[in-house]
């Protein structure tokens, strides 16, 4: 294995796995596999990039650090020459962590500094300028992410936000230097090391910027960022003759289908509204779930009764409703109850023959795939930017699409089910 990725949630893991597998147009990518949690055995000898998907974004920082270091050590045992710590392109975190503590712990373990921090993903509208994170034409704290139910992002200055999480000073490579190219970027990172800066925000407005950053980091032991930071990395290994460059291809999986949505993002709520116009949908009554009056049985019955019609089950709600639910029942208890519910539903559906699953939301995806315990997932074609087809191995493979809340076109759910079937 050449490149190892530690992802702090499951949708983000499939996002960066997709980036690594497809590479740049005309060049191809790396043979990539996604692993659910730290594997218990060695990876296959043909895997060039391994993505370890953790569920560490919203847990206590000390636990996130411990799990991330375990993933790092496994990846190093597989021979990885470079490590990427992948987090959300909207920098989802609290003032206490977990991005800063995990990144600094990985840097200490690898004995490195001047580590790139770049959440930019221009294809999804995320850009960084003068250390400030934008979502399309809005600053991060005006984009709707300030209402995130777990990690509300209230400051667009990610240099300042990260400084609150980190023990050491945080640097910045601004966009004018980035536009000068990889040599200038590398020089600026070198100066950051001299100044004692462990983590360095690097601006990026375009995919060309990200490719230049990736080339500047060809020899870096550690890089951190959103999935866009991986755009230029496969080419480094291909140019060095260490990888051939291939395009992902997988045969689709036929069989019963289900869509599970736990994200409360604006995009996901819009996708649900689009879907309900022509397909059956079921809203989860969270108050009933919290009282123990509603469980997985009625959801499973609904899905199985609507096979062939793309049934969708959701707990998504607007910010005001989410806030009211959290005030009534508590933020953590609501999140835990919904994660457990979706996990039980997914497990029961697969046991009853469902073979295609579309899941919306990072926390929901983490709960689902953890419950299914599918092992390594092969990376297939891209559905929408940042969202690939994922297929488990074995005699009865499961096809998955794990969608971050704000990703995907309005018709994503129907499109994803078709791609999972190979259409």
pLDDT of 245 reads: 87
Looking at the DSSP assignment, which residues form a beta bridge with residue 34? Answer: 51, 377
3-239 adopts what CATH topology? Rossmann fold (3.40.50)
Distance separating alpha carbons of residues 332 and 415, to the nearest angstrom = 33
331-to-58, 100, 323, 325, 401 alpha-carbon distances in Å: 12, 23, 8, 8, 27
Distance separating alpha carbons of residues 304 and 245, to the nearest angstrom = 41
pLDDT of 394 reads: 78
pLDDT of 32 reads: 92
Angle separating helix axes 207-216 and 182-194, nearest 10 degrees: 60
Domain with CATH 3.40.50.10840 in the chain: 3-239
Regions of the chain with pLDDT less than 70:
none
Q: Report angle CA 341, 11, 247 to the nearest 5 degrees.
A: 140
- In eight-state DSSP terms, residue 317 is -
Distance separating alpha carbons of residues 376 and 342, to the nearest angstrom = 21
Distance separating alpha carbons of residues 189 and 194, to the nearest angstrom = 9
Distance separating alpha carbons of residues 358 and 367, to the nearest angstrom = 13
| CATH superfamily membership of 257-420 | Four-carbon acid sugar kinase, nucleotide binding domain (3.40.980.20)
Domain with CATH 3.40.980.20 in the chain: 257-420
Residue pLDDT, tens place only, 270-326: 999 999 999 999 999 999 999 999 999 999 999 999 999 999 999 998 888 988 999
Average pLDDT over the chain, rounded to an integer: 94
pLDDT of 144 reads: 87
Q: Is-contact 268 319, C-beta < 8 A?
A: no
Distance separating alpha carbons of residues 96 and 126, to the nearest angstrom = 23
pLDDT of 187 reads: 98
pLDDT of 148 reads: 82
- DSSP per-residue codes, 166-224: -SS-EEEE-HHHHHT-HHHHHHHHHHHHHTT-SEEEE-BSSHHHHHHHHHHTTT-SEEE
pLDDT of 362 reads: 85
């Amino acid at each position: 294995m050449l490149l190892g990725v530690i992802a702090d949630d499951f949708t983000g893991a499939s996002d960066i796995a997709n980036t690594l597998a497809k590479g740049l147009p005309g060049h191809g990518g790396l043979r990539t596999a996604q692993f659910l949690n730290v594997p218990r055995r060695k990876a296959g000898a043909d895997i060039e990039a391994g993505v370890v998907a953790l569920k560490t974004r919203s847990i206590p920082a000390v636990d996130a650090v411990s799990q991330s270091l375990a993933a790092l050590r496994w990846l190093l045992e597989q021979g990885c020459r470079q490590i990427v710590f992948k987090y959300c392109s909207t920098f989802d975190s609290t003032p206490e962590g977990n991005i800063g503590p995990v990144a600094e712990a990985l840097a200490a373990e690898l004995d490195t500094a001047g580590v790139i921090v770049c959440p930019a993903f221009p294809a999804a509208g995320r850009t960084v300028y003068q250390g400030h994170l934008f979502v399309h034409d809005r600053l991060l704290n005006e984009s709707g992410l300030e209402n995130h139910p777990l990690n509300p992002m209230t400051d667009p200055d990610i240099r300042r936000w990260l400084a609150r999480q980190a023990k050491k000073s945080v640097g910045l490579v601004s966009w004018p230097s980035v536009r000068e190219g990889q040599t200038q970027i590398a020089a600026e990172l070198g100066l950051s090391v001299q100044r004692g800066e462990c983590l360095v925000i690097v601006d990026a407005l375009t995919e060309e910027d990200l490719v230049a950053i990736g080339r500047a980091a060809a020899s870096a032991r550690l890089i951190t960022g959103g999935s866009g930071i991986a755009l230029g990395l496969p080419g480094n290994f291909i140019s060095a003759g260490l990888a051939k460059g291939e395009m992902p291809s997988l045969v689709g999986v036929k069989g019963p289908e289900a869509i599970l949505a736990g994200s409360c993002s604006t995009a996901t709520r819009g996708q649900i509204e689009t879907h309900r116009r022509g397909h059956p949908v079921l809203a989860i009554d969270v108050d009933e779930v919290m009282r123990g009056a509603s469980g997985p049985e009625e959801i499973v019955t609904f899905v199985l009764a609507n096979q062939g019609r793309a049934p969708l089950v959701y707990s998504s709600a607007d910010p005001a409703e989410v806030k009211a639910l959290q005030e009534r029942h508590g933020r953590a208890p609501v999140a835990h109850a919904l994660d457990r519910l979706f996990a039980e539903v997914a497990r029961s559906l697969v046991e009853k023959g469902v073979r295609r699953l579309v899941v919306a939301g990072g926390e929901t995806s983490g709960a689902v795939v953890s419950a299914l315990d599918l092992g390594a997932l092969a990376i297939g074609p891209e559905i929408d930017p940042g969202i690939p087809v994922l297929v488990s191995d074995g005699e009865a493979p499961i096809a998955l699409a794990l969608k971050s809340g704000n990703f995907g076109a309005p018709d994503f759910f129907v499109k994803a089910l078709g791609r999972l079937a190979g259409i």
